[in-house]
Amino acid sequence: MASLKSETSKGGEVERRSRWDRWGLTRGKRDKTVSQPDIPTAITRDGSNFAPVFHIKLRDHVLLEGDPVTLSCLPAGSPHPHIAWVKDKKPLEIDTRMNLIACPDGRQLVMIMQTTRKDAGLYECMATNPLGVVSSSCTISLARLPNRPGTPEIPQKYKDTALVVWRPSDNLAPCTYSLERKAEGESLWLIVATGVADCYYNVVDLPPGVSFRFRVACVNKAGQGPYSNLSDNVCLDSTEPTKTSSTPVVVQTAPAVTPPVVMTSSMTVTPIKPAQSKPAATTAQTATATPTITLAKPPTAKTATATPTITLAKPPSPTVTPAKPPAAPSPTVTPA
């Protein structure tokens, strides 16, 4: 009976464990592998041997004196390569400020806790195995304040824009430039642009008719160096080209006033004789009309000189009234 219970309990435990395994509840008891997210999949190789390679190479560093730095690289090879560190073509000397670390994932590290001037130089990591030798290198440089750049020049200007160029500073470390301007008669310098990576800058929105000077300074990790010499005075023309209008402009002028010209005619007008009446008429009333001469008005200022017009009045027709005959006297009879 006891054996039956033990077998039953064992069977239940096995079933319970299998259920846990099926549900994944026993994964926490398994051995955990070390996470290696920095190792690329390219280093996964088969069993064949190969010459050393660097999957992660060293990179350059620009530091201030006293900054810490870590040089890191990832060599690989089969058989596993031998690692050696070299500085300035000589074996690296380790002191109390440095640590050499070989990580389980294959990375090789050089850690410097506090850099000094003597740490600047060329560093190399050399990986060697029977199939070959390979190296990766980098430089550590201590930043210092850069020297002054060249004097700014203005080769081109147009309207409110000026192109400013200058010679770079003799600085090996990465740097940028800061450009400033000052108007004539003012004491304050205005920042035009910062973080300029090139040795030129196109300055816009400059007020016309004002003289300016420019200066530039180089900036790196150590700080900003001295300013350059001042540029020559730059004055933008305040006059703009005259815009021509397409609408024609009409100019009205007063006409010249011409004095009237009076012309005298030399023509002689002969009076018309009246018609004569018949002899039988005793009296005749004749009307003789004197011709009327009408001179045209003198020309105005807007008309040309015209010949005066002569209009002759038409004489009326003569009217003849016959005279009544005298009455015959009555005969006088004288007695014999």
Could you state, in order of their start, the residue ranges of all structural domains in the chain? Answer: 46-142, 153-235
What integer is the mean pLDDT of 281-293? 46
* Nearest-angstrom CA–CA distance, 181 and 155: 16
Rounded-to-10 torsion of CA 265, 268, 273, 274: 10
- The dotted CATH code for 46-142 is 2.60.40.10
Say if 46-142 and 153-235 have the same CATH topology: yes
Range list of β-strands (E), the chain: 50-56, 61-63, 69-78, 82-87, 90-91, 98-102, 108-112, 121-129, 132-142, 153-158, 161-165, 176-183, 190-196, 200-203, 211-220, 223-227, 234-235
Report whether 159 contacts 236 (CB < 8 A): yes
Percent of the chain exceeding pLDDT 70 equals 56
What pLDDT does residue 143 have? 85
Report whether 103 contacts 78 (CB < 8 A): no
Backbone Cα Rg of the chain:
64
What pLDDT does residue 306 have? 47
SS3 202: strand
Q: What is the model's pTM?
A: 0.46
What pLDDT does residue 210 have? 87
* Nearest-angstrom CA–CA distance, 53 and 133: 9
pLDDT tier at 55, thresholds 50, 70, 90: very high
* Nearest-angstrom CA–CA distance, 309 and 295: 6
What integer is the mean pLDDT of 73-95? 94
Q: Determine how many CB atoms are found less than 10 A away from the CB of residue 266.
A: 4
Does 325 have pLDDT greater than 60? Answer: no
In the numeric block, which tokens belong to residue 203? 């300055």
What integer is the mean pLDDT of 60-85? 93
What pLDDT does residue 87 have? 95
More confident residue, 303 or 309: 309
What integer is the mean pLDDT of 246-266? 54
Does 35 have pLDDT greater than 50? Answer: no
More confident residue, 43 or 317: 317
More confident residue, 11 or 237: 237
Report whether 51 contacts 75 (CB < 8 A): no
What integer is the mean pLDDT of 76-87? 94
What integer is the mean pLDDT of 234-245? 58
pLDDT tier at 319, thresholds 50, 70, 90: low
What pLDDT does residue 159 have? 84
pLDDT in tens, 109-165: 999 999 999 999 999 999 999 999 999 999 998 888 889 999 999 999 888 899 999
What residues does 126 pair with on adjacent strands? 84, 135
Does 96 have pLDDT greater than 50? Answer: yes
What integer is the mean pLDDT of 95-99? 92
Minimal CA–CA distance to 142: which of 168, 124, 116, 122? 116
* Residue with tokens 């997210």, as numbered in its chain: 37
What pLDDT does residue 174 have? 81
More confident residue, 85 or 21: 85
Does 198 have pLDDT greater than 50? Answer: yes
What integer is the mean pLDDT of 262-276? 60
What integer is the mean pLDDT of 260-276? 60
What pLDDT does residue 318 have? 55
Q: What is the mean pLDDT of the chain?
A: 74
What pLDDT does residue 65 have? 86
What pLDDT does residue 42 have? 46
Report whether 310 contacts 293 (CB < 8 A): yes
* Nearest-angstrom CA–CA distance, 216 and 180: 6
- The CATH class for the domain spanning 153-235 reads mainly beta
